[in-house]
Chain A
Amino acid sequence: MLLHDTALVYGRYLRQSLRSRFGLLFGVLMPLLYLVFFGPLLTGLPLGGRGSSWQLLVPGLLLQLALFGASFAGFSVIVENGQGVIERMRVTPVSRLALLLGRVLRDATLFVFQAVLLVLAAVVMGLRAPLPGVLVGFAFVAVLTVALASLSYALAMKVRTPQEFGPTINALTMPSMLLSGLMLPMTLGPAWLDVLSRLMPLRHLVDAVRDAYTGAYATAHMLYGSLVAVAFAALAVTVGTRVFRTAGA
């Protein structure tokens, strides 16, 4: 039943995404701007990585895409709460976990699709990276999306108004982006910043994807990155499910 219900909820929200071509592409816009207008600034700089500057930047932009896209996913739940759609579904026998999973899997699909577009654009700009590494990158985008979207939906069920939701998400995403070294590797900075950034889960994900983009898969970064990503997603889905189960208070 969980599978049936998840597929059903997934289908509903995927169709919703497909109806809006704007929504389908909107998420790629910001990373694409960084790619085109910021990426070329890095090509001649000594960044300390093993590959080209594109192999450093593109993994960061992929996770940025997931970070901003998935963190704001909860907005749709605020709208649906206002319309009564969520309560209408919650009086049916549908699995509460499916109400969450169907949505976050839709988000994962959407952002992986956008990530593919971004990588294609990056190839045009000059990115060269091994295919398995690129696929690993998409997997990280998917897992990060599942984690952040779950938390975003959970928050949206709690706060109920866009006025509370938007600023909260903004206050969390901006420092996350800066502190995890999505744009430039943190190893370039002073030691205190590097240490601080290791406390951010996202830092470990971006390190792992950067390794993958240079074809290095059996590294400590990859191990930590995978563990952090999976643990974060498991925790987030647990929190999300709990909120969806008991929602209404």
Chain B
Amino acid sequence: MPETAYSPRPACPGRAPLLIKGNEAIVKGALLAGCRCYFGYPITPASEIAETASRDFPAVGGVFIQAESETAAMNMVYGAASAGVRTMTASSGPGISLMQEAVSYCAGSELPCVVVSIMRGGPGLGNIGPEQADYNQVVRIGGHGNYRTPVFAPSSGQEMCDLTMQAFEVADRYRTPVFVVADGFTGQMMEPVTFPDPLPEPPEKDWAVRADAATRKNLISSIFLDPDELEAHNRKLQAKFREIEENEALYDEYATDDAKIVVVAYGIVARVVRSAIHAARDEGIPVGLFRPVTLWPFPHRRLDELAGRAARLHVFELSCGQMIDDVRLAIHDRIPVGFHGRMGGNVPSVEECLEVIRKAAREGGVL
């Protein structure tokens, strides 16, 4: 089974947790994973990432630069990744839009890096409330060309740290940009986080341009003038993406064993819905939660399995419905898929979700 149930990293014995903001936990996780260069531009609700990075990266001998724009920031990431160093940036939707050019170049040139998106309300300037309306931007990719990027979707402070660390490993393993996406709430929220030991220094990358004799002949480029060569390059990239789909899908489940209604939600929404499911179970409703931990690759096989035993699925998102497309594809539309979405920075209350679940149970005839 190549799709894996997400198992949290075992707590470090004897180490106490610290109360910390999700945005800060991302920076700590990045440094513990060996990230050495941060380039960014401030934007609410992601600014604490740049603020923390401006203190912590130089403190460990790393690099922090406040770039002139997200365009420049992501191109700096492209440069540092070319040089073979673990590197990252972070922003929110409006800034991620500007980064897409360089993300595509990173994908084309096969450069590992991590991009964090703390989603806010859109489109346009929208507002700074929590939304999940940039799912398509990161999961369906926002840049040009044939590429995909792995996307991790933490839903707790601990996962902000752990999945960021994992993102760097995946980025290096496949030489690809990797996204970590969360919403404003997960970024602003404080929870106890236990920090692991730093990972050992990653080995030097022999494909990089490290400004030394060993790598002097190397070239970082996404140009393939000859149609056959570019097609071959694209096929190689696609093969890599298939491999990622095979190996890297992660999900989490709650009360799915006998679930006739399977709720699908990620990030902060999964947390709210989980509370609602807890309450619904008390009322005897056979409902469970399926939480994609990676949005791409989408853990479709496991969801399809669950759909085989369920009467219907219900998708909750802070958007007009974006992940729902992947849900329907995963289960080939073989059972009804309901949807509840909020936008504009509104987050549904537990009671609101509970009501939706009750209704879904009635309509699905599972009561």
A and B part of one assembly: no
Binding site for A on B (CB under 8 A): none
